[in-house]
């Protein structure tokens, strides 16, 4: 089912920007526009919105019937493997007077397909990332409620993990349990996430699985799922055994930064100030270089979307915005600790922390 109100809004913005059309490849953006997630392969396909409010779809014949189902009698241009997609795209562009014009493309358009189109016909591609992100930056009440439910699922998962984790397990063992529990509690896109033990956690985007939990270990877990298309994202770090004084010091600094960022995240707050509020806690303690990423990112139909919570994202927080607050300290070859919650500015303009499970330091001690 097409999101007609959003299509009209995007078309109006295209007109204002003197852009002839927006081309959207399969992605969270496409799901948002047509409520459909097609099978993704190397074959070119795209949904196109013109500045004149026309829409059409281009796809391989393999998925033509599928596309006709969600396009609601709007044109579907299908191409054969034996012929390639370029001439079909040209036909559609000619029909809607798009040749020679500026065409915005979303972030999922593959470069090898875009280059092939540019070599074959005249048009000017331009950045279309913001058209979708900024139109969905303000969540509806229903979307906010689905974010709440998605966050409640991962809260339950974390509470179970506290009783599951024990020495001898691998990172992969814990990640597999995360996937199982997310599905058990009603999550839809249960893909696991980051489980990092000890020095592995010093890499903020570590995705290994072979690290083994020792009798004493730091275990960082960053994971999420979806509920009715809306993502959750949580990070908790636990200690197996008894925490050392240094581990307690670093954990407490990250927790205080997390709380400071959330306290600053109020309706009307300037986003760079929110980032600074959390960052200052860690910088003042001498670990500024070890907090090497933005404070957070927007969340909704994609795991990462607008608003981005960092010093160069010049925007005020407003009702309906959803984002993470996730400071961390990462000391190479030693330790990494991160604490992350999803935060919304709710319908009443209040700051609401969606993750309710504890952030206090947990020491897992098995008899």
Digit-coded pLDDT (tens) for 131-142: 888 888 999 999
What confidence category does residue 190 fall into, taking pLDDT thresholds of 50, 70 and 90? confident
Among the residues of the chain, which ranges form H helices?
4-16, 28-34, 64-71, 86-95, 111-120, 129-135, 141-164, 171-184, 245-264, 271-284
With vertex at residue 308, the alpha carbon angle to CA 4 and CA 360, rounded to the nearest 5 degrees, is: 120
Fold of 4-135: Creatine Amidinohydrolase; Chain A, domain 1 (3.40.350)
Per-residue b or e along 334-348, where b marks 16 or more CB atoms closer than 10 Å to that residue's CB: ebbbbbbbbbbbbee
Is pLDDT larger for residue 208 or for residue 229? Answer: 208
Mean pLDDT for the stretch of residues 97-108: 96
DSSP-assigned states of every residue in 311-329:
TT---B--TT-EEEE--EE
Backbone angles phi, psi at 121, to 5 degrees: -150, 160
Digit-coded pLDDT (tens) for 234-286: 999 999 999 999 999 999 999 999 999 999 999 999 999 999 999 999 999 99
pLDDT for 22 equals 98
Query: Is the Cβ–Cβ distance between 248 and 237 less than 8 Å?
Result: no
Task: Say whether pLDDT at 126 is over 90.
Answer: yes
Report d(CA 258, CA 358) in Å as an integer.
13
What confidence category does residue 59 fall into, taking pLDDT thresholds of 50, 70 and 90? very high
Per-chain mean pLDDT for the chain: 96
Mean pLDDT for the stretch of residues 53-66: 96
**Considering only CA atoms, which of 255, 33, 21 is closest in space to residue 133?**
33
Task: Say whether pLDDT at 5 is over 90.
Answer: no
Digit-coded pLDDT (tens) for 339-365: 999 999 999 999 999 999 999 999 999
**Tell me, what DSSP letter sits at residue 7?**
H
Residue 304 makes CB contacts below 8 A (sequence gap 6+) with 297, 298
Fold of 141-364: Creatine Amidinohydrolase (3.90.230)
Report d(CA 290, CA 150) in Å as an integer.
30
Task: Say whether pLDDT at 367 is over 80.
Answer: no
Q: Would you list the domain boundaries of the chain?
A: 4-135, 141-364
pLDDT for 6 equals 87
Beta bridge partners of 340: 235
Report d(CA 73, CA 67) in Å as an integer.
10
Q: What does pTM read for this prediction? A: 0.88
């Amino acid at each position: 089912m097409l999101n007609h109100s959003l299509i009209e809004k995007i078309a109006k913005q295209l007109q204002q920007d003197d852009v002839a059309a927006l081309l959207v490849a399969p992605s969270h953006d496409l799901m948002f526009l047509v409520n459909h997630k097609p099978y993704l392969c190397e074959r070119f396909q795209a949904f196109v919105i013109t500045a004149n409010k026309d829409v059409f779809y281009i796809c391989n014949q393999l998925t033509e019937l599928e596309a006709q189902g969600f396009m609601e009698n709007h044109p579907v241009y299908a191409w054969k493997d034996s012929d390639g997609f370029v001439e079909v795209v040209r036909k559609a562009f000619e029909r809607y007077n798009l040749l020679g014009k500026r065409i915005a493309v979303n972030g999922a358009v593959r470069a090898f397909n875009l280059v092939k189109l540019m070599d074959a016909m005249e048009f000017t591609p331009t950045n279309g990332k913001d058209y979708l992100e900024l139109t969905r930056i303000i969540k509806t009440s229903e979307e906010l409620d689905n974010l709440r439910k998605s966050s409640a699922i991962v809260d339950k998962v974390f509470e179970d993990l506290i009783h599951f984790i024990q020495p001898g397990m691998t990172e992969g063992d814990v990640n597999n349990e995360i996937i199982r529990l997310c599905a058990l509690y009603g999550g839809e896109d249960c893909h696991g996430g980051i489980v990092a033990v000890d020095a592995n956690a010093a890499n903020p985007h570590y995705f290994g699985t072979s690290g083994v939990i020792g009798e004493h270990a730091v275990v960082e877990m960053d994971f999420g799922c979806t509920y009715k298309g809306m993502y959750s994202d949580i990070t908790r770090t636990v200690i197996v055994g008894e925490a050392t004084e240094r581990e307690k010091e670093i954990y407490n600094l990250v927790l205080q930064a997390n709380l400071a960022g959330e306290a600053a995240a109020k309706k009307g707050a300037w986003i760079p100030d929110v980032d600074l509020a959390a960052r200052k806690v860690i910088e003042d303690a001498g670990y500024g270089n070890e907090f090497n990423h933005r404070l957070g990112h927007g969340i909704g139909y994609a795991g990462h979307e607008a608003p981005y919570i960092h010093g160069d994202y010049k925007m005020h927080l407003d009702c309906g915005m959803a984002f993470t607050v996730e400071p961390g300290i990462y000391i190479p070859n030693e330790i990494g600790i991160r604490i992350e919650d999803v935060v919304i500015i709710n319908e009443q303009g209040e700051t609401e922390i969606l993750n309710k499970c504890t952030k206090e330091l947990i020491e897992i001690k098995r008899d």
